[in-house]
Structure 1
């Protein structure tokens, strides 16, 4: 194999050498000029493209980072509103009165229905501003987590749940998580399908729960305010507000995500599917999970991600905003620059060839003239040379003068 390669290389070099040897001087000038310009153009194109590609990629990453942060802020703002609504409900006067009645510290229990109704009114007022709130509840800490007040939001409007239909939630996972909360702390649950009386709701609404504890006047835990959020509708609402232009993912710590694709539009919510999506697999790296902000570059994509802490008191309560752009989009402007340079290079080569043809004509004119004169003298056996460029001060003039001297010597020999 090596011998064959060496042989082919030798033959190729020989052929090129022979071809060059049989070219006229004028052709050699044109060829060498064209090759010089072509090689220079290639070097310039390579340098400019490399530098431009690097600078444009860095600029694109900066823009992508800014867009990702804006998306992250939008979704963080949505969670902040949910948290604020939960705190507002937890600090309502009706809550305080219900707690005091239950502790027998203020009024008779005859006033309890009135304060429950006022709390229901407060819940409805909050829910009307957020179409993705499906339930608001006041759940007791004791008595196996029995609901004290509950309002449902369904297709018919806002339903005030009767006392006889209130449920026990002490065995629900979010109740157990919320039991560890202290004063001023809050909690967002993982996404699960909503349950009624321990059975998954047939509508299978993916539900996020915002929980804030309620304490009595002595600082003892009395219960919780819980807002149920239709997580799919929450994400859809935020996506519609931000109107993304790039491929965008919102993913939580449990791997639930919703994707917006510029080609396909907003795709459905996927529960616990991040490890199956090739664009999100980099998030499964333990080191990546701890980082707040970074970018990943693959062969065909640039991926930027920003971590959003949604519960200050719980480090593992977070979202990630992920934006993805194809590399070809990032380097599109670079390709346009490269195309322009290519066109300019072709023009430069063409102009250089024309220029070298003109220059070579002037450079070789004297040589051609001298060649004809010498050929004519050789044919006639007359060495009297009258038309040599002996007055030129360059190398051609030196050769002409040397031939002139030689011709004089030959003529003297003939006549002598």
Structure 2
């Protein structure tokens, strides 16, 4: 598999930088444009909402002015004070014509009524609206309204004040088209010449028609929300959520749009929210809400008016810009890739020449291609290569010699020249694999010097080191050339015997080792005897792994040393001794491993 070279990597790096730069710029432009469009839409919505609120307040004020005009007519006070609605009355008929004219010119008016203070608030003049137009309610159908708040509250007002009712659903009997519609009532007292309140003029307003007229010039994708001072929806795109208090299931604006809570707490006058920055509070929309007082300020009446626009409509322009940005990013990415390849090839060509010279350091033809005559950094580097080649060549022979020496030191004991534990374990594992393949045996002899510590303490470490070297020489003399002897560390040596002879030869070799180590050795004019204890483990009888063979031989050696120094013991005999001891402790007859087998002999120390 061919790995990508420096030219490819540098081209990719430079191309990525160009792509990332153009992509980041496009990404920032796209998101900045989205945020700008959403913010602009929010400001536009807020302006429209405020304008709609001002129109609503102005319309309420205009209706209030109409109420005052009707109440201030001289014939109004006269009819309210003297008429009982029973017979013909010229003044009443003139008022009826005026009321009819007001109804004709104001389609949002559902009812206009003159109600006297007398006769329990009897209606004297009343015009309703139904599907066919205006309806004047005649004497037999006129009702007493003194029990309604818009009558008895208005009668307590001073002349000139306007009563504004809460916005509610009209459930009064016989109201024609006003039945079941959201209604706002404005009323004012009627006073006579002496200032005594003798009746009230009340206008019922169709809130839906009023808002429809006010929002006629708004874009069609705007959604209108309207709530009273308690938060009940009066206008909502989903009609089932309006006037919930009238159906026993209140739906509050502050619950649907939590951002509007400050408006109802009267801590803020307007709020903005959008689904881009506040996805939980304005999912998929841009919202603007304003709190707008209306009617008599002393009544603390206000509405919360809101406009919403789908976020997708607001961001439609940003999506078009995003498509253009993607095209531009792709074009600039291709251009960046092309320029990156050209620049990378121009930059890496001398480096390829240097790399070829570095990989063929001792080839003369490779050195001839170096730009040695260049005066820039590439030329300096090429001349450095030439000097390095000569210096490295002179050091290679020394390095190889040192390497061979290090390999030997890593696998051999420095003091005795014997293989160390690492090399011995490697040879032992290979020997086990070969013995298993040939179905042969091998033996491991663990040799521990008996009196080495006393010699070391008595004569010093330098003499101890010479003793270890002498022991190593004697071990090699005793063993065959095919046998392996290694020093594990301290005064411990290990011997590997391979082949079919290992099972029978191991005890004999152990005896020869003990015999040669019991002979006196003379070091620096001092005579001394070392002696050794030996443990024997065999493959495959005692174990099938190198580590376990070594541990078993070690265990057999310690058993031989504890039974008396200058002895050897097989691991098999150690196990038999343990079984015999366990049988004696349990009070049971001892049987050797394998029923009916003759009892084996214990290992006898040999000198």
Higher Cα radius of gyration = 2
TM-score scaled by length of structure 1 = 0.75
Give the conservation status (yes or no) of the 8 Å contact 2:110–2:178: no
Cα distance in 2, alignment partners of residues 101 and 327 from structure 1? 61
Q: Does 1:388 align with 2:365?
A: no
Deviation at 1:201, TM superposition (A): 9.0
Equivalent residues of 1:384, 1:407 under 8 A apart = no
* Distance apart, 1:389 and its partner CA: 1.5
Distance 2:82 2:146 in 1: 22
The yes-or-no answer on 1:295 pairing with 2:272 is yes
- In 1: Cα distance, 2:366 partner to 2:129 partner: 118
Moved more, 110-119 or 187-196: 110-119
Q: Which residue of 2 aligns with 1:251?
A: 227
Contact 2:254 2:261 in 1 (8 A): no
Matched, 1:130 2:106: yes
1:71–1:242 contact (8 Å) kept in structure 2: no
Match of 1:121 in 2: 97
How far did residue 224 of structure 1 move?
A: 0.4
Residues 186, 211 of structure 1: 8 Å contact kept: yes
- 1:272 matched to 2:244? The reply is yes
Which deviates more from structure 2 when the two are superposed, residues 36-45 or residues 248-257?
36-45
Say whether residues 1:71 and 2:52 are aligned partners.
yes
> RCO higher in 1 or 2 (8 Å CA, sep ≥ 6)?
1
Report if the CA contact (8 A) 2:228-2:302 is conserved.
yes
Contact persistence 1:389–1:397 (CA under 8 A)? yes
2:383 aligns with 401
Say if 2:338 is the partner of 1:354: yes
Structure 2: unaligned runs, 5 residues or longer: 394-607
* Residue aligning to 2:164: 188
CA contact (8 A) 1:186 1:313 kept: no
| Secondary structure of the corresponding residue to residue 328 of structure 2 | helix
Are positions 1:58 and 2:42 aligned together? no
Paired with 2:159 and 2:52, the residues of 1 have a C-alpha distance of: 31
Structural mapping, 1:159-178, within 5 Å: 159-178=135-154
Deviates more, 1:289-298 or 1:365-374: 365-374
Match among 5, 24, 27 for residue 5 of structure 2: 24
Q: Distance in 2 between matches of 1:192 and 1:303?
A: 27
Change (3 A) 1:406 1:208: closer
Instruction: Choose which of 327, 335, 348 in structure 2 pairs with 1:364.
Output: 348
The question of whether the paired residues in 2 share the 8 Å contact of 1:194 and 1:206 is answered with no
The 1:209/1:196 distance shift into structure 2, 3 A limit, reads: same
Query: Equivalent residue of 2:251, what SS?
Result: helix
Residues 225, 306 of structure 2: 8 Å contact kept: yes
Structure 1 position 215 matched with structure 2 position 191: yes
Q: Distance in 2 between matches of 1:409 and 1:250?
A: 91
Q: Distance in 2 between matches of 1:100 and 1:230?
A: 29
Displacement after TM superposition at 1:189 (Å) = 1.9
* 1:116 Cα offset (Å): 0.7
Deviation at 1:249, TM superposition (A): 1.8
With over 3 angstroms needed to count, the CA separation of the structure-2 counterparts of 1:391 and 1:56, relative to structure 1, is farther
Check the 8 A contact 2:362/2:389 in 1, yes or no. Answer: no
User: Which is further off, 242-251 or 65-74?
Assistant: 242-251
Structure 1 residues 113, 85: CA separation in 2 closer, same or farther (over 3 Å shift)?
A: same
Q: How many residues align?
A: 379
- DSSP-derived class of the 1:285 partner: helix
C-alpha displacement of 1:123: 0.6
User: Are the equivalent residues in 2 in contact too, given 1:251–1:258 (CA < 8 A)?
Assistant: yes
Structure 1 residue matching 2:295: 3-state secondary structure: coil
Aligned partner of 1:317 in structure 2 is: 301
TM value normalised by structure 2: 0.54
